[in-house]
C-alpha cells in the first residue's frame, strides 16, 4: 500500500508538469571527458529549464565507438530524441533514407541562415535545400597545446610555433620529459597529420588536395614535406603510449609531456584542471605557423519519431541549441567556438579569443569530415596510425595516402 | 514397402521433433539465411545502408589490395600457428603430467581450467595490466632491484603478437588439457600393461601408441582451437585495440571497422565472407574425417 502511494506520488510529480507539455527526449552524444561533460550539463540545464526533460545518453569511447551504436539504434527502429554527429557526410545516408526530421521550418523561424557563421556549417546540415541538423559548435583541430612550466624550468622561451617546438625538443627530452603527447587511436594520428598539413603545407595546398581533390598535388613534393615533418613529429611522440586523447592532454597538464596537437576541445580539460591560458599553458592555432582553422563541428540530428508531442519537443530543442544563451554557456565550458557571430563572447579566455579572431577574419577551411566520406576517413586513420607508430618512410606513406584519396573520388 | 516405414519414421519421436522446430527455424533463418544474405550483399556497393547495386568482385579486389587487411591476415596466421602448436603441446604435456596419478589432481585441474571461465575481455584487460610497463611485471622486477629490466611487449610492433599469445595461451590451455586428459583416460589400461610387459619406456608408449590412439581427440581439439582463432576479436580489442599502429589488427576487427565506423557495409561483408570461407576450410575436412569415414567403417 505504501509503495503504491509512493508510486502514485512519483507518477503525479512527473505527470503534473507535463500539463505544460513537458516531454522526455533522450539525447545521445560522445561527450564524456571532464570538460565535455560540464558543457553537456549546460545543455541539459537549459532544456530542463524550458519545461522539457533532457535524458542523457552519453556513450563513452569517442565518436568511432559511439556512432555505430547510434546508427544501429536509428536503423534498428529504436531512435533516440536527438543525437550528435559531426557535420558532413556521417549522417548523409540516414537523411537520404528519410530517417531524420526535417528542421527547415525551425531554421527559417529562427533565421539560422542569417546568424550562423561560417555559413558552411549550415550548408553541411542542408541536403536538397532542407535543413536536417542544428549546428552546435565549431571544431578546429589544428592547435598545439604547450605546458609553459616545462620551458620555464629549462630556462628557455616557450615555443611560439611548430618549428621552435621541434627545435627545443632535444632539451625537453634531456630533462626526461616526452616532447609530444599523442593518444594511440587512429583518429588522433589523422588529426595530428592534418594539423601539420595545414601548418606546414599551408592553405593553398590543403585546399588543392582536399577541396579541389587534385591528386597531383597530393602526390607532389609539397605534400612530401608534410609527411617528412610528420615523421619528425612521430619521433617526438615515440614514448607516448596512452590511448585516449584526454589522457594525452593530461600528460601535458601534469608536465609529463611538453605539448600535444589536439583540437580546441582540449581546452576544456585545461579549464577543469584549473589552468589559466597564457600563464600555465600556451595555445597555438594552426601550430603557430599558419593561423588557419578548419571548421568542422558537432551538430544535432533529430531522428523521425511517431509521437507528435515528441516531434514538437525535438523542434523546441533544435531552436534552443542554436539560441545565443545556450551557445555562450555551452561553448565557454567546452572551449569550442560558437556557431553564431552575433553573440557576446567577452567571457572567453585567451585561446578562444584567438580562435574567434581567426574566425572573424575568415581564415577558415572545411574539415576532413565535410570533404571526405567516413570510408576515406577510416582508411586514412588506419594508414596514419600505422605511420605514426611504425617506421614507414614518408615516401611510402605518401603513396598510400594518394591511393586512399583516390578511392573516395 | 519402401514408402511406409519412411513415413512412419517421420512421425516417430514426434514430440522431440516438434520441440526442435523453433531451433531448426532459428538456424535456417538467422544463421543460414543471414549468412547467404551477407554473401550476396558483399557483391554490392552498400555503404551505410544495404542497397542492391551489383558491383561484381570490386569489394574483394579492394579487400585484397588493402594493406590493413593483408597485415591482419598475416597477424592472424602467425598468432594461429603459434597458438595451435603451443596450446596442443602444452595441453597434452600438462594432461600427461596430471595423468601420473598424482595427489590433489582435482585441485590442479580446477586451477588450470579456471582461466577458461573468464571471458576474453577480462583476460585481455588483466594481461594488459600485467604487461603494462608502469604497473606490471616490469615495475615489479625493477622494484626488486633490477633497474635496467625492460619487459614491454605490448608497445612494440614486433613483439605485440607475443603479448597476445601469452594471454591467449593462459586462457585456452586449461581447456585443451581437459580434452586431452579425457582422451588419456579413455585409453585402455591393458595397453599400458602390455607395454610394460614388453619393456617399452613410458615416453615411447605415449609417443607411438597413445598419441595415435587419441587421433579423434586431437582432431576435435584442433577444430575447436582453430575455429576460436579465426574469430579472434575480443581479446585483441581489450588488450591492444589493434595497436600499436596496426601491428595487432585481426580480420574480425577489420570487418567491424568497415561495417560500422567506415560506413562501408559492402567492404565489411566481403571481409566477413572471406572469414566464413576460412572457417569452412577448417570445418569441412574435419566433418569429412569425423562423419564421412564412419559410414564405410
In this structure, is the dihedral angle defined by the CA atoms of residues A45, A50, A55 and A60, taken in order, positive or negative? negative
Is the Cβ of A247 closer than 8 Å to some Cβ of chain B? no
Q: Which of B245, B248, B253, B254 to mutate to test the interface with A (most CBs of A within 10 A)?
A: B245
Average pLDDT over residues B189-194: 89
Distance, in Å, from the CA atom of B234 to the CA atom of A330, rounded to the nearest integer, reads: 37
For B77, other C-beta atoms within 10 Å of its C-beta total 11
What average pLDDT score do residues B66-75 get? 90
Query: Is the Cβ of A87 closer than 8 Å to some Cβ of chain B?
Result: no
For B119-128, the pLDDT digits (tens) are: 999 999 999 9
| Option in B49, B62, B244 nearest A75 (CB) | B49
Task: From chain B, pick out residues whose CB is under 8 angstroms from the CB of A67.
Answer: 260-261
A343 DSSP 8-state letter = S
Q: What is the mean pLDDT of chain B?
A: 87
Q: What is the complex's ipTM, to 2 decimals? A: 0.73
Contact list in A for residue B62 (CB cut-off 8 A) is: 407
Does A244 lie at the interface with B, CB-CB under 8 angstroms?
no
Nearest CA in chain B to A234: B245
Helix (H) or strand (E) holding A298: strand A296-301
C-beta atoms of B243 and A389 within 8 A: yes
Report pLDDT for A51.
87
Query: What is the pLDDT at residue B151?
Result: 86
Mutate to test the interface with A, among B44, B48, B237, B266 (most CBs of A within 10 A): B48
The pLDDT, as a whole number, for residue A4 is 58
Contact yes or no for B263 and A400 at CB 8 A = no
Nearest CA in chain B to A383: B68
| Residue whose C-alpha is closest to residue B72's, from A96, A184, A382 | A382
How high is the pLDDT of residue A6?
54
Q: So what's the pLDDT on residue A60? A: 86
Distance (Å, whole) CA A394 – CA B175: 46
Nearest to A97 by CA among A81, A129, A75, A70: A75
In the stretch 354-393 of chain A, residues with CB closer than 8 A to chain B read 373-375, 377-379, 382-383, 385-390
Average pLDDT over residues B29-52: 90
CB pairs A-B closer than 8 Å: 73
The answer to whether the Cβ–Cβ distance between A374 and B247 falls below 8 Å is no
* Cα–Cα dist A164/A176, whole Å: 19
Closest CA relative to residue A142, chosen from A192, A202, A204? A192
Question: What is the pLDDT at residue B6?
Answer: 57
**CA dist., res. B147 & res. B143, Å (int):** 7
Residue keyed to cell 546568424: A115
Name, in order, each residue with C-beta under 8 angstroms of A354's C-beta and a sequence gap of 6 or more: A283, A285
Instruction: Name chain B contacts of A375, Cβ cutoff 8 Å.
Output: 47, 258, 262-264, 267
- How close does chain B come to A4, measured CA to CA in Å? 40
The mean pLDDT of B90-113, rounded to a whole number, is 89
Alpha helices in A147-198 (DSSP H): 148-154, 162-174, 186-196
Q: Give B252→chain A minimum CA distance, Å.
A: 15
List the alpha helices (DSSP H) in A198-262. Answer: 202-210, 215-218, 221-236, 245-253
CA distance, residue B263 to nearest chain A CA (Å): 6
Which residue in B has a C-alpha nearest to residue A189's C-alpha?
A: B245
Find the CB nearest A386 among B155, B245, B264: B245
Could you identify the residue written with the cell 577551411? A365
pLDDT at B74: 92
Q: pLDDT below 50 — which residues of chain A?
A: 1, 12, 14-20
Q: How far apart are CA B43 and CA B57, in angstroms?
A: 6
| B246 contacts in chain A (CB < 8 Å) | 382, 385-386
Residue found by looking up cell 546508427 in the block = A71
Q: Would you call A374 and B262 a contact, using CB atoms and an 8 Å cutoff?
A: yes
Instruction: Classify A211 as helix, strand or coil.
Output: coil
- Beta-bridge mates of residue A277: A281
What are the two backbone dihedrals, phi and then psi, of residue A337, each rounded to the nearest 5 degrees?
Answer: -95, 145
Amino acid at each position: 500500500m505504501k509503495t503504491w502511494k509512493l508510486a502514485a506520488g512519483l507518477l503525479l510529480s512527473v505527470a503534473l508538469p507535463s500539463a505544460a507539455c513537458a516531454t522526455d527526449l533522450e539525447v545521445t552524444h560522445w561527450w564524456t571527458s571532464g570538460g565535455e561533460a560540464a558543457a553537456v550539463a549546460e545543455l541539459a540545464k537549459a532544456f530542463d529549464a524550458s519545461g522539457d526533460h533532457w535524458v542523457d545518453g552519453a556513450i563513452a569511447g569517442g565518436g568511432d565507438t559511439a556512432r555505430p551504436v547510434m546508427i544501429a539504434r536509428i536503423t534498428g527502429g529504436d531512435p533516440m530524441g536527438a543525437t550528435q554527429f559531426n557535420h558532413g557526410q556521417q549522417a548523409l545516408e540516414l537523411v537520404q533514407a528519410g530517417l531524420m526530421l526535417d528542421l527547415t521550418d525551425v531554421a527559417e523561424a529562427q533565421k539560422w541562415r542569417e546568424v550562423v557563421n561560417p555559413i558552411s556549417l549550415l550548408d553541411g546540415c542542408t541536403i536538397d535545400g532542407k535543413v536536417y541538423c542544428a549546428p552546435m559548435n565549431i571544431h578546429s583541430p589544428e592547435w598545439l597545446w604547450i605546458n609553459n612550466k616545462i620551458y620555464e624550468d629549462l630556462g628557455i622561451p616557450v615555443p611560439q610555433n611548430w618549428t621552435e617546438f621541434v627545435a627545443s625538443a632535444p632539451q625537453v627530452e634531456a630533462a626526461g620529459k616526452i616532447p609530444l603527447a599523442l593518444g594511440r587511436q587512429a583518429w588522433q594520428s589523422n588529426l595530428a597529420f592534418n594539423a601539420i598539413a595545414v601548418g606546414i603545407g599551408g592553405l593553398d595546398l590543403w585546399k588543392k588536395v582536399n577541396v579541389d581533390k587534385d591528386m597531383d598535388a597530393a602526390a607532389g613534393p609539397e605534400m612530401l614535406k608534410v609527411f617528412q615533418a610528420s615523421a619528425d613529429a612521430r619521433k617526438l611522440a615515440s614514448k607516448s603510449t596512452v590511448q585516449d586523447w584526454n589522457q594525452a592532454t593530461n600528460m601535458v597538464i601534469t608536465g609529463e609531456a611538453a605539448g600535444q596537437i589536439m583540437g580546441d576541445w582540449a581546452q576544456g580539460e585545461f579549464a577543469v584542471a584549473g589552468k589559466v591560458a597564457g600563464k600555465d599553458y600556451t595555445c597555438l592555432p594552426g601550430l603557430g605557423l599558419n593561423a588557419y582553422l578548419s571548421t568542422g563541428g558537432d551538430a544535432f540530428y533529430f531522428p523521425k519519431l511517431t509521437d507528435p508531442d515528441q516531434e514538437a519537443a525535438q523542434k523546441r530543442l533544435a531552436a534552443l541549441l542554436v539560441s545565443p544563451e545556450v551557445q555562450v554557456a555551452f561553448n565557454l565550458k567546452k572551449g569550442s567556438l560558437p556557431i553564431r557571430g552575433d553573440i557576446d563572447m567577452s567571457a572567453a579566455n585567451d585561446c578562444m579569443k584567438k580562435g574567434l579572431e581567426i574566425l572573424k577574419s575568415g581564415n577558415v577551411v572545411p574539415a576532413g569530415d565535410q570533404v571526405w566520406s567516413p570510408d576515406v576517413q577510416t582508411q586514412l586513420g588506419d594508414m596514419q596510425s600505422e605511420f605514426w607508430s611504425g617506421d614507414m618512410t614518408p615516401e611510402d606513406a605518401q603513396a598510400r595516402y594518394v591511393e586512399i584519396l583516390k578511392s573516395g573520388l | 514397402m519402401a514408402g511406409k516405414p519412411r513415413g512412419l519414421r517421420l512421425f516417430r519421436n514426434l514430440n522431440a521433433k516438434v520441440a526442435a522446430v523453433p531451433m531448426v527455424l532459428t538456424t535456417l533463418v538467422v544463421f543460414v539465411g543471414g549468412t547467404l544474405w551477407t554473401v550476396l550483399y558483399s557483391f554490392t556497393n552498400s555503404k551505410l545502408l544495404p542497397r542492391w547495386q551489383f558491383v561484381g568482385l570490386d569489394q574483394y579486389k579492394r579487400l585484397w589490395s588493402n594493406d590493413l587487411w593483408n597485415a591482419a591476415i598475416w597477424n592472424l596466421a602467425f598468432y594461429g600457428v603459434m597458438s595451435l602448436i603451443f596450446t596442443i603441446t602444452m595441453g597434452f604435456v600438462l594432461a600427461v603430467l596430471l595423468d601420473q596419478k598424482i595427489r590433489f589432481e582435482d585441485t590442479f585441474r580446477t586451477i588450470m581450467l579456471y582461466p577458461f571461465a573468464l571471458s576474453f575481455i577480462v583476460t585481455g584487460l588483466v594481461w594488459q595490466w600485467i604487461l603494462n610497463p608502469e604497473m606490471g611485471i616490469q615495475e615489479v622486477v625493477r622494484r626488486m632491484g633490477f633497474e635496467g629490466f625492460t619487459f614491454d611487449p605490448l608497445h612494440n610492433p614486433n613483439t605485440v603478437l607475443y603479448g597476445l599469445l601469452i594471454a591467449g595461451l593462459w586462457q585456452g590451455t586449461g581447456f585443451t588439457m581437459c580434452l586431452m586428459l579425457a582422451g588419456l583416460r579413455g585409453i585402455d589400461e591393458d595397453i599400458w600393461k602390455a607395454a610394460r610387459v614388453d619393456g617399452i619406456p613410458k615416453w615411447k608408449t605415449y609417443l607411438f601408441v597413445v598419441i595415435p590412439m587419441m587421433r579423434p581427440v586431437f582432431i576435435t581439439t584442433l577444430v575447436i582451437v582453430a575455429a576460436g582463432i579465426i574469430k579472434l576479436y575480443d581479446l585483441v580489442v581489450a588488450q591492444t585495440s589493434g595497436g600499436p599502429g596496426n601491428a595487432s589488427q585481426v580480420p574480425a576487427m577489420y570487418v567491424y571497422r568497415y561495417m560500422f565506423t567506415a560506413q562501408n557495409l559492402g567492404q565489411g561483408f566481403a571481409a566477413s565472407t572471406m572469414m566464413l570461407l576460412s572457417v569452412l576450410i577448417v570445418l569441412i575436412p574435419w566433418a569429412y574425417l569425423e562423419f564421412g569415414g564412419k559410414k564405410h567403417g
